[in-house]
Amino acid sequence: MKLSNLGEFGIIKKIREKTYSSKEVIAGIGDDAAVLEFNKKQFLLYTTDALVENVHFSLKYFKPWQIGAKSIEQNASDIAAMGGVPTYAVVSLMLPENLDTKFVDELYSGINKTAKKYHISIIGGNISKSKEVIMSISMLGIVEKKYIALRKGAKKGDYILCSGNVGKSAAGLELLKKNKKGASIKNHLEPKCRLGLARKLVKIGINSMIDVSDGIASEITHICNESGVGAIVYADKIPISKNTINDAKLLGKNSLDFALYGGEDFELLFTAPKSKIKKLTKLGASVIGEIADKKNGIKLIKNNKEIKLRKGFEHF
């Protein structure tokens, strides 16, 4: 069987079933970051993510500093999705030997500026020769045990909420590919994680959370699979900005598809009981659905019709 037949999440499931974890691992494969025992009050968080040329970015569109900044933002987003605070990171670079040294200077300008913003110390890494530019970041963080947020934990009757606007990064990428101009381009080239907001959410009280890196459809599926529940999502409640709607029209595309099946918005998708909704929506979050019984599956309500939600972005 080829990887393309199994799919990204099938591959992860296969690896997960065969991987050993010690009792110190509170949460391992299957969440935004691993959760490890640390001390009486805190857990240690550990995540890693890669940026591969012509997969996650193209040098035709991205400036080196934007690549560096994005590498920190996407890893910090994983820590944020766990309710934590990022602390340290190591950077591995795989670079073509004919690349100009100015590229590395500018790359690290983006890395260092973004890391400083979040008080993340860059403490080491590795460099190797490669045919294409590849970056791999490993990041540590901490979270108080009382504030830990996992993908599992969603309960029947919970509301599903989303921060900010979604679909903007996918719309920006499509504009770049089609050589068109639009407001969404900046959202793709310079995404921002929601670290500050995530900390506020966990202090109010939520039951589960994930960051929006692969589209709303994928993220809701992850929460439901880990929590053993189903979901009802209302298409007209998904927050999509006017810029994204206008850019989608320019492309002849549906902005809802960008929101559901795009990715790299680094917004937060989370669930919470009714008693917390007023405080959460005051922070700008939108209620987009409800957690249902597992037997109901994961459904999208669009134009008063019930549709089975498709999978979001997958690498294979």
d(CA 77, CA 72): 8
d(CA 51, CA 133): 8
pTM over 0.85: yes
Q: How many residues does the chain have?
A: 316
Last residue in a domain, options 127, 146, 165: 146
Confidence band for 2, pLDDT divided at 50, 70 and 90? confident
Confidence band for 314, pLDDT divided at 50, 70 and 90? low
Pair 268, 302 in one domain: yes
* Token pair in block for residue 155: 């309960």
Which pLDDT score, from 0 to 100, does residue 201 have? 98
Q: Is residue 89 part of a domain?
A: yes
Pair 292, 169 in one domain: yes
181 contact partners, CB below 8 Å, separation of at least 6:
175
- How far, CA to CA in Å, does 129 sit from each of 6, 63, 132, 248, 255? 30, 20, 9, 39, 40
Mean pLDDT (whole number) for 136-157: 98
d(CA 273, CA 260): 23
Q: For residue 228, what are the domain limits?
A: 149-308
Specify burial of residue 290 (Cβ count, 10 A radius: 0-12, 13-18, 19+): middle
Pair 142, 278 in one domain: no
Pair 171, 135 in one domain: no
CATH number assigned to the domain comprising residue 264: 3.90.650.10
106 φψ region: left (φ > 0), alpha (ψ -120 to 50), beta (else): alpha
Specify burial of residue 202 (Cβ count, 10 A radius: 0-12, 13-18, 19+): buried
SS3 261: helix
CATH number assigned to the domain comprising residue 100: 3.30.1330.10
Pair 129, 222 in one domain: no
> Has residue 113 got a pLDDT over 90?
yes
Q: Is residue 303 part of a domain?
A: yes
SS3 253: coil
Pair 243, 112 in one domain: no
> Has residue 77 got a pLDDT over 60?
yes
Last residue in a domain, options 107, 126, 146: 146
Which pLDDT score, from 0 to 100, does residue 1 have? 77
Q: Is residue 2 part of a domain?
A: no
φ, ψ of residue 139 in degrees (nearest 5) = -130, 140
